[in-house]
Structure 1
Amino acid sequence: MGHPAEKPRRATYADLEAVPPTKVAELIRGVLHVFPRPAPRHARAASSLGIELGGPFDHGKDGPGGWWILDEPELHFPDPASPGDVEAVVPDIAGWRRERMPELPETAYFALAPDWICEVLSPSTEQVDRREKMPLYAREGVQHAWLLDPIQRTLEVFSLAPGRDWARAAVHRDAARVRVAPFDAVELDLRVLWAT
């Protein structure tokens, strides 16, 4: 008679902390995901988008201000399957309206869900970004999500619909000049996001 299959051990935050700093680690539903650091096109797209949004929305230069725009913030959400544990994810870029978060926290992570996230897709992260992280962001009430693909040169725009489901608002491509919620006060030239 065989032994019953052992239930896999849920990863913990301690497992995440043990990952070498040369990797990106995230903890979702008790599963530890470890990825290589972003490739140059990925890093270029994320950096360029942060620059484009940071001036008008974070610093208020030629724009409305009122946001914190941050690269790779660590987000902690309660793990509903394991009370007392957290799910920890690191979006490529995230933004909080200052009216919701007047000051940055003193912790090394954010417990308050952002108002907007952007994930820059790569072959090693796309499935986790779409299938694991997007539902988590919806569950936590993130209102806007962008998926940026520097290889396909696309920007997918999502807004949170009633019932905490994502509604895809638009897909923009190549050299489009667009106004995209929640940053539609300023036109975004997508050409600056793609490495050339």
Structure 2
Amino acid sequence: MGRGKKPATYADIEALPEGWVGELLEDELLASPRPAVGHAHCAFVLGFALGGPFSLGRGGPGGWWFLPEPELHLGRDVLVPDLAGWRRERMPQPPSPREPFVPLAPDWVCEVLSPSTARVDRHRKLPVYFREGVSHAWLIDPLARTLEVFRGDAGGWARTETHAGDALVRAEPFEAVELGLGALWLVP
């Protein structure tokens, strides 16, 4: 944040035009328009692919809650990952449907990278997720057609896997089910 500039507040998020996503990082307002079609498709398909086996227990172990684009209140930071998941042992019940945000850090986050957000997602949001105890993070680039898998350890994030193209993968923490990356990409 620049010198002499007042810290951004939640009121700044509420003042954004309709359709914009606002986040607060280190007292700075970050605003971005709704994502492009390839980004939205990727997040939707991934949520669908993980939701059946891990949230509903259909063809998988269950034990998770997933939310698309949840508003997370993590200390003074307000973040909106593309997808987030909580192990039911940490969050036995989902938040009330009336709750506008989630104050409990997820166990897993996924950021779908866009050219305009990739740097913030990678260099500013990942450290906050680590600070708050998120154990796994995925960065997906639908243009480069890649999935990077990270696990939090004592020293920070460790990239454990990188997958590309149409690979069939078992990526932690969801290695119980095979995921076909090809379904995530819109091919023109």
Unaligned runs of 5+ in 1: 80-86
Per-residue deviation, 1:8: 1.1
Alignment of 1:4-23 (within 5 A): 7-23=4-20
TM-score (normalised: structure 1) = 0.91
Say what the alpha-carbon RMSD is for the aligned residues.
Answer: 1.1
Alignment of 1:62-141 (within 5 A): 62-79=59-76, 87-106=77-96, 107-141=99-133
Unaligned runs of 5+ in 2: none
Per-residue deviation, 1:6: 5.5
Q: 2:183 is matched with which residue: 189, 192, 195?
A: 192
Q: Distance in 1 between matches of 2:59 and 2:138?
A: 22
Q: 1:41 is matched with which residue: 23, 38, 42?
A: 38
Per-residue deviation, 1:117: 0.2
- Partner amino acid for 1:68? W
Tell me which residue corresponds to 2:164. 173
TM-score (normalised: structure 2) = 0.95
Secondary structure in structure 1 of the residue aligned to 2:62: coil
Secondary structure in structure 1 of the residue aligned to 2:4: coil
Q: Distance in 1 between matches of 2:108 and 2:3?
A: 39
How much identity, in percent, do the aligned residues show?
Answer: 57
Residue 157, structure 1, aligned to residue 154, structure 2: no
- Partner amino acid for 2:169? V
Name which one, 1 or 2, has greater alpha-carbon Rg: 1
- The 1:13/1:192 distance shift into structure 2, 3 A limit, reads same
Q: Distance in 2 between matches of 1:24 and 1:153?
A: 24
Residue 144, structure 1, aligned to residue 112, structure 2: no
C-alpha deviations, 1:84-107, integer Å up to 9, x for none?
xxx100000000001100112232
C-alpha deviations, 1:170-196, integer Å up to 9, x for none?
110001101011000000010000012
Q: Distance in 2 between matches of 1:66 and 1:183?
A: 11
Q: Which runs of 4+ in 1 moved over 3 A?
A: none
Per-residue deviation, 1:19: 1.1
Secondary structure in structure 2 of the residue aligned to 1:14: helix
Counting matched residue pairs gives 184
C-alpha deviations, 1:58-115, integer Å up to 9, x for none?
1100000010011000000112xxxxxxx10000000000110011223211110000
Residue 61, structure 1, aligned to residue 51, structure 2: no
